[in-house]
Amino acid sequence: MSPEELLAKLSECVEFGKVNKNAPFPPAMKGMDGADELTKQALDMGINPEVILNEALIKAMDRVGEKFNQKKIFVPQMLIAAKAMNVAMEHLKPFFSSGEVKRKGKFIIGTVAGDLHDIGKNLVAMIVEGAGWEVIDLGVDVSSAKFLKSISENPDAYVGLSALLTTTMKSMQNIVNEIKREHPSVKILIGGAPVTEQFRAEIGADGYSSNPQTAVAYLNAQLA
Amino acid sequence: MDTIGNEIIKGKTLVSDGAWGTFLQQMGLQPGECPESWNLKYPEKVLQIAQSYIDAGSDMIETNSFGGNSFKLSYFGLQDQVYELNKAAAEISRKAAGSEKHVLGSIGPTGKMLVMGDVTYEELYEAFKEQAIALEAGGADALIMETMSDIDEARAAVSACRENTSCEVICTMTFEKSGEGLFHTMMGVTPAEMVQAMIDAGATIIGANCGNGMENMIGITEEIRKTHLTIPVLIHANAGAPVYCNGETQFLETPDVTAGFVDQLISSGANIIGGCCGTTPDHIRAIVQKVKK
């Protein structure tokens, strides 16, 4: 296989969620090499890890995000694609730590205090990571103190807040206030089922995103 | 007391209850507090909610047990109290319902994802079984799966209820509009896919809950009716989409607006109508007036 063919194959595995050779899903790719094997082969072949990231993984997750946005695929397909991406990413981690491959920036994300829902938050975290960002996931029920601590440790990071419950939107407002008071220049992106652009304007957050893809678009636009 | 299914076969349209979660919050439930813990801590407040819906004229009342499975309760350290909390939930609602009205034991999703290997089907089944048995012991005569989005989790819940209790089993899922005349759950399940899968698993009443208000529910009911002409359909709609205003979340669909959709919902094929988030005893009263007319 040529490097181009290998990268195209890897990209396809990530897009359709073929994690590894043994993975039963998707049935059409049964018994074939998955994201795990192909990433290793690509590195063994001497393909630059940054090229693997950009040409195979990011492109795949971009297509996944777009299909999700168009409601052509749903949460399960997105999760399984993200799982394949994560497996591929494991092979690239050493190059991130060594600085050989640079990521776009850092993104701190969490579901706000009082809210235990993590599906939407996880989807955004996975797609943002798949778009080449380093993601620091603080989990669910995250207090403003926990966000502030993470921001102090990563002062150049962007911050994402998620809420599913209408009742925890108040909590989102409080956290935005606290962050803005301590770190006025940190950019905060908010999202979640009940959240709207109007609500964003009301509480003084910097961005609102209704789906993972627009969250990536917002973050990437900050670099331009 | 006749079963819900029999009443519907006889041609009745029934009215269910309104919101529990948003009602509990109005009564002081704090963000991050376990709603089911109130069944033992403040049973009189929970009874007040149940009673207010019965007084509004509903034919059935749910229980304060939506998050009462061991997975959800474990976040609050209450996973060992599944039985006590659910039994109490059903007892409270039975007290309000008396012997003439139905008690629907509420069962919500676990928050765990089968597709990601978070949990196995058997573990889900066991958790729902434990909850279902406790709700029946407390006096529920029906069990209702609510806000389900994954077909396999819903199947585990329905089967666990069917195989371990003698309650009527109702399954509702939450659909969003995904295009013109198209509806999907978050996990991609269509109303048509739900119908056959849930009937096969043992549900005798199916339907939809939550979402963005009554209007979408008409389209969802039509989709269900396209695949099945006779299965009883239950609809629990939100009072519109939530709107955040002056530091408060509000649902702006008024009782009049909700009631205005009732005739259309019935003609599209719904047999049982009630409310979800944001609906109040006044909404139920308005629905009752329409239905009993």
B246 pLDDT above the threshold of 70: no
The CATH code of the domain at B4-291 is 3.20.20.330
For A148-187, write each residue's pLDDT tens digit: 999 999 999 999 999 987 778 889 999 999 999 999 999 9
For B94-141, write each residue's pLDDT tens digit: 999 999 999 999 999 999 988 877 899 999 999 999 999 999 999 999
Q: Taking CB atoms and an 8 Å cutoff, what residues of chain B touch A171?
A: 31
Question: How many helical (H) and strand (E) elements, i.e. helices and strands, does chain A have?
Answer: 10, 5
Q: Which pTM does this prediction carry?
A: 0.89
Q: What is the ipTM for the molecules in this complex?
A: 0.78
Cβ within 8 Å, pair A71-B184: yes
The total number of residues written for chain B in this structure? 293
Stretch B189-217: mean pLDDT, rounded?
94
B258 pLDDT above the threshold of 90: yes
- Nearest CA to A79 out of B150, B175, B116 is that of B116
Q: Taking CB atoms and an 8 Å cutoff, what residues of chain B touch A74?
A: 184-188
Burial class (CB in 10 A: 0-12, 13-18, 19+), A76: buried
61-100 in B: which are within 8 Å (CB) of A? Answer: 75
Do A3-97 and A106-223 come out as alike in CATH topology? no
Residue B261 · residue B30 · CB < 8 Å: no
Domain ranges across chain B: 4-291
Quick one: how far is CA B70 from the chain centroid?
18
B203 pLDDT above the threshold of 80: yes
Please name the CATH architecture into which domain A106-223 falls: 3-Layer(aba) Sandwich (3.40)
Cβ within 8 Å, pair A194-B244: yes
Helix (H) or strand (E) holding A124: helix A119-130
> Which residues on neighbouring strands pair with residue B170, listed in sequence order?
B144, B205
Question: What per-residue string of b and e applies to A145-164 under the rule 16 or more CB within 10 Å gives b?
Answer: ebbbebbeebeebbbbbbbb
Residue B219 · residue A106 · CB < 8 Å: no
Residue of A nearest to B244 (CA): A199
CATH topology of domain A3-97: 1.10.1240
Q: Provide the residue type at B81 as one letter.
A: Q
Q: Best residue in B74, B116, B212, B246 to probe A by mutation, most A CBs within 10 Å?
A: B116
- Nearest CA to B261 out of B242, B279, B244, B243 is that of B279
Q: Taking CB atoms and an 8 Å cutoff, what residues of chain B touch A115?
A: 31-32
User: What are the residue ranges in chain A where pLDDT is below 70?
Assistant: none
Domain ranges across chain A: 3-97, 106-223
The rounded distance, in Å, linking the Cα atoms of B151 and B135 is 23
- CA A204 to chain B, closest CA, distance in angstroms equals 13
